[in-house]
Amino acid sequence: MTTPLRRFGSVSEGLTFEAGLFSAQGPQVGLWTADANALVCPRAYETRNGFAQAASLSSTRGWPVHVRPTGGGTVPQGRGMANLALSFDAPEGFTIEDGYRLLTRIFRAGLRVETLDIGNTPGSFCDGDWNLSINGRKLVGTAQRWRPTHHGSPRVLAHAMVLVSGDIASGADSVSAFHRDLGLSPVKADVHTSLCSATHHTDLPAENLLAAARGELAHLSNPMNFSTKETNHIHRHHPHPS
């Protein structure tokens, strides 16, 4: 059901890997990273004026652009960034919010970080309501994709990208440059943090994350495990308007 940490040469290989998990039968979980830097943006960006030129310019800067079939915004990928992808059939009564709670429980258990805030991080790349942050700085971004199936239970792909280590500023700057060429807002490097800089970790605890994910997926068949309440030490973050 699970795979070890996968290292791909390119981000496109990682995206293909995730697509395979989504298309497979039964619960699937994968953890991957890519050796080469790249940007990943929603497929909808392809319809924006100047997309081809913006993507070409980004590639010349060392950040080729790939598209994904989900919404959100542009994110950098490459060394120092890891992706957790879970795919499963949603049981009856399971909601999008349950999917995000599932991801937060996995990261709380897998990273063993005492306090993770949940909420928007203004100025971050691909900002969302279910970011996981430490001291107001984004550590993990989350997303989901749902699709109907012939047997009635929707298929879910729940995804999270965690900033593990390395030069966050370069990734943020690459997003800002790409956004500038598309007429979109820039992002701020200093509203992000990495696992290694914000905690005692020296690397991603891959086995812990995979074990936490396996445990969550094993319980999905029991509706009593769907918690609509946030657990202790995972605090909802409501940023003040700037």
Q: Are 31 and 6 in contact (CB under 8 A)?
A: yes
Best CA proximity match to 161, nearest among 209, 207, 219, 232: 209
For the chain, first and last CA: distance in Å?
A: 44
Q: Are 143 and 22 in contact (CB under 8 A)?
A: no
- CA Rg, the chain, in Å? 17
Query: What pLDDT does residue 221 have?
Result: 65
Q: Find the helix or strand (DSSP H, E) in which 91 lies.
A: none
pTM of the shown model: 0.90
Q: Are 192 and 168 in contact (CB under 8 A)?
A: yes
17-66: per-residue pLDDT in tens?
999 999 999 999 999 999 999 999 999 999 999 999 999 999 999 999 99
Q: How far apart are CA 143 and CA 155, in angstroms?
A: 14
In the block, tokens 């109907």 appear at: 148
Question: What are the catalytic residues?
Answer: 126
74-85: per-residue pLDDT in tens?
999 999 999 999
Q: Are 147 and 155 in contact (CB under 8 A)?
A: yes
**What is the rounded average pLDDT of the residues 165-193?**
97
